[in-house]
Amino acid sequence: MQTDLHHNSISNSPDDLHTQAVLVEALLPRITRHLFSIGPTSFTADMPIGQIRVCMTLMKGPLTLTELSEEMNASVSAATQIADRMEKAGLVVRVVGKEDRRVRYLQLSEHGMQAMLASQKDRVFRTEQALASLTEEDRVQLLALMEKMMEAVLRTEATDQELPHA
C-alpha cells in the first residue's frame, strides 16, 4: 500500500523497491514520533536525547562505559560526560564489578529505573490505543511483518554493505 505522506490516504501498491523503501523510511519515524512522543508531564520531557538513550540502553542491564559508548556509537569521553551528569541527577549509579573489582559498571538508579518504567508504560499505552483500531488479524500480521523486517535489517547490517553516496 502506498501512503500519501501529506494526506494519509492509501492508494495502490507501488511495485518499485526504491519507492517502497522511501515510503518505509518516511513512515517509520512518523509512527515512532506519534507513538513515543514525550508529553510535557513526562519525566523524560526535559532530558536531553543522549540521556534518554543511555537510560533506555541501561534498562537492559549494567554496562561499562566502554560498552555503553560502543552501544551508543559514541566516544568513551562523551559517554563519561553524559554518565557524570546523569549520576549528579540521581538517574544512574556506578557499581563495582562482582567478578573483577577493578571494573566499574554504570546502571540505572532506583529513581532512574522507576522513571523509565513509567515512560515505557506510557509508550505501551499509546501503542495499545493505536493497535485497538486494527483487527486481531491485522495486529498479528503487523507484528509478524515487523519481526521479519527486523530480521532483514539485522542481516543487512551483518553484511556490512557500503551505503551509496549522493
Give 36-72 as a DSSP string: HPPPTTSGGGGS-HHHHHHHHHHTT--B-HHHHHHHH
Query: Is residue 67 located within the same domain as residue 112?
Result: yes
The reply to whether 166 falls in a domain is: no
The reply to whether 137 falls in a domain is: no
Q: Which residues contact 106 (CB under 8 A, 6 or more apart)?
A: 54, 58, 62, 63, 64, 65, 68, 83, 92, 93, 94, 95
Place of cell 568513551: 76
Q: What is the CATH number for 96?
A: 1.10.10.10
Percent of the chain with pLDDT strictly greater than 70: 84
97: Cα separation from own chain's centroid: 27
How many domains does the chain contain in total? 2
Query: Is residue 18 located within the same domain as residue 48?
Result: no
The reply to whether 59 falls in a domain is: yes
Instruction: State if pTM tops 0.85.
Output: no
The region, left, alpha or beta by phi > 0 then psi within -120 to 50, assigned to residue 90 is left
Place of cell 562482582: 98
* pLDDT classification of 21: cutoffs 50, 70, 90: very high
The tens digit of pLDDT for each residue in 105-140 reads: 999 999 999 989 988 898 899 999 999 999 999 999
The reply to whether 101 falls in a domain is: yes
The pLDDT value given to residue 10: 43
The reply to whether 134 falls in a domain is: no
Query: Is residue 55 located within the same domain as residue 28?
Result: no
Place of cell 501529506: 6
The tens digit of pLDDT for each residue in 137-157 reads: 999 999 999 999 999 999 988
Place of cell 523503501: 21
Residue 47 has pLDDT above 60, yes or no: yes
Query: Is residue 67 located within the same domain as residue 101?
Result: yes
Last residue of a domain, one of 79, 96, 116: 116
The pLDDT value given to residue 97: 87
Query: Is residue 27 located within the same domain as residue 49?
Result: no
**Range of the structural domain that residue 75 is part of:** 44-116
Query: Is residue 57 located within the same domain as residue 32?
Result: no
Give me the mean pLDDT over the 50-56 stretch: 90
* pLDDT classification of 7: cutoffs 50, 70, 90: very low
Percent of the chain with pLDDT strictly greater than 90: 58
The reply to whether 14 falls in a domain is: yes
The reply to whether 49 falls in a domain is: yes
The reply to whether 13 falls in a domain is: yes
Q: Which residues contact 85 (CB under 8 A, 6 or more apart)?
A: 51
The pLDDT value given to residue 99: 87
* pLDDT classification of 2: cutoffs 50, 70, 90: very low
The pLDDT value given to residue 159: 72
Separation between Cα atoms, residue 26 and residue 28, nearest integer Å: 6
Residue 72 has pLDDT above 60, yes or no: yes
